[in-house]
Structure formats: C-alpha cells, structure tokens
C-alpha cells in the first residue's frame, strides 16, 4: 500500500477509516464539499457488512417497538435515496440497483397473523404507509405465495438497492470527486498532538497526516488500540447469514416485491439473483456458515414461496452488523478534537448511508471552515 500525502504536503483534510457503504458515502460527500480526503481500508471496499447486505431500504417493515427516533432517521434517509441513487448513477455511469418494489410481510399461519396484526397496529399508530391484506388479496399481488398463507402487511413504499453495486459506484464517485482510496491499509493507531488529531498510523508503518479522522470501521469500530485510544462508542458485531440463489434459465423471480416473514426475507434482483436473509446471531466476530443457518433460512423462505426450491443455490455468506446498545447509529464528533464517528448502523446501514453522509458533512462544517459547499 502506498498512501500519498495530499498535494500541499500538509496532510489531508479528512482520513476515513473503513470503505464500507458508510465510510465511502461520507468520503464522497466530503470530497464533493471541497475537502482533500483519503479512505483507508484494510481489505477491499465492501469487504465488511456492506458487501453482504441484502440492500432493503425498508424503514416501515424494519420498524420495531420502542425505536421511534431510529424510525424517523430511517424514514428521512429513505426519502433521500431516489436522489442519492440518481446522482450516483449519473456521475459514474454505474448501476445502483435502486428500485421501489414495495414489500409484503407475510403471515405463514395464524400465529404469524396475530403477531403481524400487532405490528400493523404499531405501524398505523406511527403514521406509516401500510395496509393489512387477507390471503386472497395478498396472493393476487404475488401469485407465487403459498395457498396456505394467512394474510400480509403491504408496505408499498419500501425500496431496494444492490449494496455491492452501490459500494463500487461510491468508490468510483469518490475518486472522480478527487478523493483517494487505499485498499490493504489497516489503521492501527491515531496520531494526536496537544489533544487534537493529526493523523493515523497503519499496520505497514505508514503515517497518514490528516487534520480530521472519521472512524467508519463498522463492527470493528471499537476494536484494538485504535478503538481504545479514540474512546470508541460501544459497538458489537451481530452476525447475519444470508443465502444467494439464482433463477435458472427460462425461470422468473419468485416474487416481484420484497417478501418478508417473521423468520426471513427474500429479495429478488433484476439480474435473476435472489437473496434470502438473514440470521441474527450474537457470536462475536465469528462468520462461520452453519448448516443450521442455511437450513432455517431455506425452510422459512420455502414455507411462503415454494418456488424457492427450484432456484440454483449459489452461495451462503455471513456479515457482521455493527450494533450499539440502543440500536441507534453514532454520527458526529468524538471526544478528541478532530475525531469523528459514523458507526453502529446495525440492520440499516445501507438505508442510512445518504443521511449519514449529509450529517457528516454538517458535522465537518461545524468543526471547520474548510468545507465550502
């Protein structure tokens, strides 16, 4: 890895640790705002949770009891996605996979129906756009659903992207905006002087000077010397196993909408890939694919969409969601001057990328007059 200092030789305005969807989105917006930016990624862009995620933009069907503030963030960011995706696609000529298929949360049986009716009541109380449908109305929308289903919540505004494509487009857009992206650059320590950040040190022994450092290292944000020195917020990994299937020649997607149940979700892509996710496991940094994980996801998807059984099995993957104790992300300045955080996005980091990047630029404006946009 070679990290060049910025052209003036005085260091970068901003060094970002981590090239997931969060670090890249923040870096892109900061570069657009006129900052000299470098992103340091220990592996490859998208090698963390962002490269594994399903890509649902689903604030309504992810809403949970007691998380009203998080819901408002999710809704705000959902509203930003059409413009964010269009700008990214136009600037780079690359796809994002953005679409607005809507979602059905399907009750496989009467027990599920009881649970989902409670969830629907919550959604209505929160003023969300959702509707309860009986089994016949549900199957008229998605004929591939099992005749045994007991109804569904329709959330017509839910969207999706292809997170791998978004990461690739963001990396491209960052470089086009004048930013630098260094793969294979593991950051192991902060440099500080007189109580403020002056840069970072990498595992290869390079020093990267920067007047501000943004830690966007996902589930690893509070790890090691870097996390300890930086006074990291509490972030823990929550493992998610996810299956990738593919429509066979002449076949079609099992559903045109996002289909969810209390046990799984199914996301179809326009190129014929179908994602079935995901487990939620407290297993530390373990990313082992287990027989139990694969079995339960397939069983849950097959229960409501029997055509899943006809698809080609491509691979199973696991990623680590960065979770905070209250499930809300941490976005903004840290305790050391010049240090910023964008981490802890849990189940909704892809959804929250546009809003996080906007807030980060606002935070950068708050600590400096360099940002011009």
Residues that bind ligand FAD (CB under 6 A): 17-23, 40-43, 47-50, 52-56, 186-187, 216-220, 226, 240, 242, 277-278, 319, 321-322, 343, 345-351
278 binds ligand GLY (CB under 6 A): yes
Name the DSSP letter for residue 162: -
55 binds ligand GLY (CB under 6 A): no
Q: Identify which of residues 165 and 197 has a Cβ nearer to ligand GLY in the complex.
A: 165
Q: 300 contacts which partner out of ligand FAD, ligand GLY, none, CB within 5 to 8 A by kind?
A: none
29 binds ligand GLY (CB under 6 A): no
Q: Identify which of residues 277 and 293 has a Cβ nearer to ligand GLY in the complex.
A: 277
Q: Which stretch binds ligand GLY (CB under 6 A): 54-62, 109-117, 225-233, 364-372?
A: 54-62
Q: 260 contacts which partner out of ligand FAD, ligand GLY, none, CB within 5 to 8 A by kind?
A: none
321 binds ligand GLY (CB under 6 A): yes
Determine the 3-state secondary structure of 33 from DSSP.
coil
CB 163 within 8 A of CB 24: no
- Find the helix packing angle between 68-92 and 163-176, rounded to 10°: 60
- H helices of the chain, in order, are 21-32, 59-62, 68-92, 110-125, 135-141, 163-176, 224-230, 291-304, 353-367
CB 337 within 8 A of CB 195: yes
Q: Identify which of residues 265 and 341 has a Cβ nearer to ligand GLY in the complex.
A: 265
Of 141, 334, 195, 280, residue with least CA distance to 131: 141
Q: Identify which of residues 113 and 350 has a Cβ nearer to ligand FAD in the complex.
A: 350
Name the DSSP letter for residue 337: B
CB 147 within 8 A of CB 294: no
Q: Please state, in angstroms and rounded to a whole number, the distance separating the CA atoms of residues 141 and 104.
A: 9
CB 27 within 8 A of CB 172: no
Q: Identify which of residues 6 and 74 has a Cβ nearer to ligand GLY in the complex.
A: 74
Q: Site for ligand GLY (CB under 6 A): how many residues?
A: 8
Q: Identify which of residues 19 and 54 has a Cβ nearer to ligand GLY in the complex.
A: 54
317 binds ligand GLY (CB under 6 A): no
The token pair that represents 307 in the structure block: 């055509």
CB of 325 to ligand FAD, least distance (A): 16
CB 314 within 8 A of CB 246: yes
Give the x-and-dash track for 222-261 against ligand GLY (CB under 6 A).
------------------x---------------------
Q: 216 contacts which partner out of ligand GLY, ligand FAD, none, CB within 5 to 8 A by kind?
A: ligand FAD
Name 264's Cβ contacts closer than 8 Å, sequence gap at least 6.
Answer: 276, 277, 278, 297, 300, 301
Q: Identify which of residues 98 and 220 has a Cβ nearer to ligand FAD in the complex.
A: 220
Residues that bind ligand GLY (CB under 6 A): 54, 56, 62, 240, 277-278, 321, 347
């Amino acid at each position: 890895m070679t990290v060049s200092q910025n052209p003036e030789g005085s260091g970068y305005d901003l060094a970002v640790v981590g090239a997931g969807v969060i670090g890249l989105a923040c870096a892109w917006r900061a570069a657009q705002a006129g900052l000299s930016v470098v992103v340091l990624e220990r592996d490859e862009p998208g090698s963390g949770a962002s490269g594994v995620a399903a890509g649902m933009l689903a604030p309504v069907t992810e809403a949970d009891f007691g998380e009203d503030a998080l819901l408002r963030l999710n809704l705000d960011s959902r509203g930003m996605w059409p413009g964010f995706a269009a700008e990214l696609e136009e600037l780079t000529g690359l796809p994002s996979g953005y679409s607005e298929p809507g979602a059905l949360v399907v009750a496989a049986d009467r027990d599920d129906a009881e649970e989902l009716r409670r969830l629907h009541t919550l959604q209505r109380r929160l003023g969300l756009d959702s509707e309860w449908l009986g089994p016949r109305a549900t199957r008229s929308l998605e004929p591939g659903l099992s005749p045994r289903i007991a109804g569904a919540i329709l959330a017509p505004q839910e969207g999706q992207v292809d997170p791998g494509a978004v990461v690739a487009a963001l990396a491209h857009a960052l470089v086009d905006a004048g930013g630098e992206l260094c793969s294979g650059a593991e950051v192991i320590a902060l440099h500080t002087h007189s109580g403020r950040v002056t840069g970072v040190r990498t595992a290869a022994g390079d020093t990267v000077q920067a007047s501000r450092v943004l830690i966007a290292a996902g589930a690893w944000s509070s790890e090691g010397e870097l996390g300890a020195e930086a006074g990291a917020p509490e972030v823990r990994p929550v493992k998610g196993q996810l299956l990738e299937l593919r429509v066979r020649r002449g076949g079609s997607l099992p559903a045109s909408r996002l289909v969810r149940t209390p046990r799984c979700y199914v996301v179809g892509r326009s190129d014929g890939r179908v994602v079935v996710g995901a487990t939620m496991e407290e297993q530390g940094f373990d990313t082992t694919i287990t027989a139990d994980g694969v079995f339960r996801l397939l069983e849950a998807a097959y229960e409501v969409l029997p055509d899943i059984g006809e698809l080609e099995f491509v691979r199973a993957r696991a990623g680590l969601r960065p979770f905070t104790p209250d499930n809300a992300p941490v976005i903004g300045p840290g305790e050391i001057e010049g240090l910023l955080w964008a981490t802890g996005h849990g189940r909704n980091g892809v959804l929250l990328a546009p809003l996080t990047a906007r807030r980060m630029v606002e935070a950068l404006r708050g600590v400096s007059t360099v940002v011009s946009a």
